[in-house]
Structure 1
Amino acid sequence: MSALAYIRDYGSEEETSEDSEKEDSEHCKKLKLPTPNLSGVSVVPSEDHIDDPSLHSGRTRSFPHVRGNWATFIYVEYPNKENLFQIIAKLEAIVTSFDESCIVCEDVHISLSKTFVLRYHMIKSFTSTLQNVLSNNNSFVLNFDSVEVYCNEEKTRTFIALGVDAISHAYLNNILKQIDSLLDDFKLPTFYENPSFHMSILSVIGNKKELLLKNFNNLYDIFIQHKYILKSENINKVNCKSGNKIYQYCLK
């Protein structure tokens, strides 16, 4: 019940007798508003948010934190991390030998959107519409066939990634076109014009693309030698993360 429902109708101004006031006073003391159930609501601290890169391995936000704005992105999660981390460890050993800032990416995934902002009141409408967009897409088999190097737009981190093969790219690109159309309808930024679908697995601080490319042959050789570890994975879900909530959409 809404708290407004507990606002009592005290009648006209003529009701000013002592008995009426006493009755009202006693009645008000007995009323106690129920504790609201906030289990399904994200509680945002009232203090100003301070972005401290030292708390998360030098990473910085691509846009400032604003209360009521939910950072959102759409992605495919890699299902078999146990096999994946075997090859990551081998590639990490190579990168660490010439750059000690190398770390393993915490959430390995393939992005299907840039990170964009949803206002809280938009989340339900956006996520339900996304369900309709994705419901007619088929599941597909995911494979990787290359090692790639990328630097983020802010030039604060450089990533080592695994690139998907041509068949996987075709499936992902078909899904991406539909997501981009939805983002455009909501006046939100679409993905890159010529998408390169990849899964970032390692990163180093700063713009180290040139340095990593100098050592690219070593990274590629390790990948080719241990590519067999990465078995073909069936992808039957697409995720949308908004703030601290993750929405999963099943493919056919």
Structure 2
Amino acid sequence: MSGLSLICDYGESDGSEENENDDLETFKSVGFRTKLPAPDLSKVSVIKTEEHIDNPDQHGGKIRSFSHVRGNWATFVFIKYPDLESLNIITENFANQIESIGLECKKCDDFHISLSKTFVLKYHLIAPLTESLQEVFNTCDSFELGFHSIAIYCNEEETRTFVALKADIYSSRGLLMITQKIDNILVEYKLPQFYDDPSFHMSILYVNGNKKNELTKILERLNGVFVKYEKNIGSVIINKIECKSGNKYFQYYLQ
């Protein structure tokens, strides 16, 4: 039965051909619309939207700053510390001091200095942004990185407290110039810039939760350990900057 015939059936009263023709003429003249029955969707398959559930227990208590959304790529620019071997002894001594006051600490997954905040980047913007970074870093010179003290930091979510090596004043000047160049690019994409008064540092140990007060109480002891092993750390030449966007890594070599 055609759709038109179905509409006409709803208007039948006695089944006569004459009435059927009259109903058809009425439909044509006034544009009468008959409500059709609702379709049966019980057998139509439904594809559920994939939902990502973050489990902090799978990554040492770390909590995302923003929800995981397909198509959004968490991105940040950083310097990866090149001399990990020199940090092993001092890191173990820091851990002993922290555990002596009843706190459990863990070594950071990697040793790096952030040059940007972590920001969300759409996939189609990854290529143009990273190419812009390449152009900027091509004009930057390699520089010497050193540290001068220990500092305690707590993340904005207050889920982790970090023990970090703080960059010395000369290194901080070079790092500041680089972050300003990065910020100039991020502004073009309407992305968040770095902190107004950045404190450049490299986190090496962390404690879950906000334990800044407890760790600040032993800060003098931690700095004593730093002074003892400062010569072992020394300074290193930084000739490479990296960018991580989701599971993609980009490396940029300085002059």
Q: CA deviation at 1:99?
A: 3.8
Using the size of structure 2 for normalisation, the TM-score is: 0.79
Gaps of 5+ in 1: 1-45
In the alignment, the residues of structure 2 paired with residue 99 and residue 184 of structure 1 have an alpha-carbon distance, to the nearest angstrom, of 44
Q: Counterpart of 1:145 in structure 2: which amino acid?
A: H
> Which amino acid is 2:237 matched to?
N
Correspondence for 2:60:
57
Is 1:115 matched with 2:118? yes
One-letter amino acid of the structure 2 residue matched with residue 93 of structure 1:
N
Instruction: Give the number of aligned pairs.
Output: 207
The question of whether the paired residues in 2 share the 8 Å contact of 1:80 and 1:233 is answered with yes
The CA deviation at 1:48 is 1.8
1:154-200 alpha-carbon deviations (Å, 9 max, x no partner): 11111000001111011101111100111111100001100000000
Residue of structure 1 aligned with 2:75, choices 66, 72, 75: 72
- Taking the aligned partners of 1:47 and 1:85, their CA distance within structure 2 comes to 41
Equivalent residue letter for 2:189: F
- The equivalent of 1:235 in structure 2 is 238
Match of 2:201 among 198, 203, 207: 198
Mapped to 1, the partners of 2:106 and 2:75 lie a distance apart of: 24
1:143 aligns with 2:146: yes
Deviation at 1:47, TM superposition (A): 3.6
Deviations 1:117-162 (A, max 9, x none): 1111110011001101111010001100110000100111110000
Other structure's SS at 2:244 match = strand
Indicate the SS of the match to 1:50: coil
Inter-partner Cα distance in structure 1 for 2:245 and 2:87: 26
**For 2:195, what is the secondary structure of its paired residue?**
coil
Which sits farther off after the overlay, 221-230 or 94-103? Answer: 94-103
Q: Tell me which amino acid in the other structure corresponds to 1:115.
A: T
Displacement of 1:87 in angstroms is 1.0
Cα RMSD (Å) of the superposition?
Answer: 1.0
How far apart, CA to CA, are the structure 1 residues paired with 2:144 and 2:206?
26
Inter-partner Cα distance in structure 1 for 2:102 and 2:157: 20
TM-score, length of structure 1 as denominator length: 0.80
Corresponding residue of 2:21:
none
SS at match of 1:240: strand
Kept in 2, the 8 Å contact 1:99–1:204? The answer is no
Deviations along 1:46-69, whole A, 9 cap, x unmatched? 742110011111110010000111
Q: Name the amino acid aligned to 1:101.
A: E
Runs of 4+ in 1 over 6 A off after TM superposition: none
Q: Which has the larger radius of gyration?
A: 2
Q: Are residue 127 (structure 1) and residue 130 (structure 2) matched? A: yes
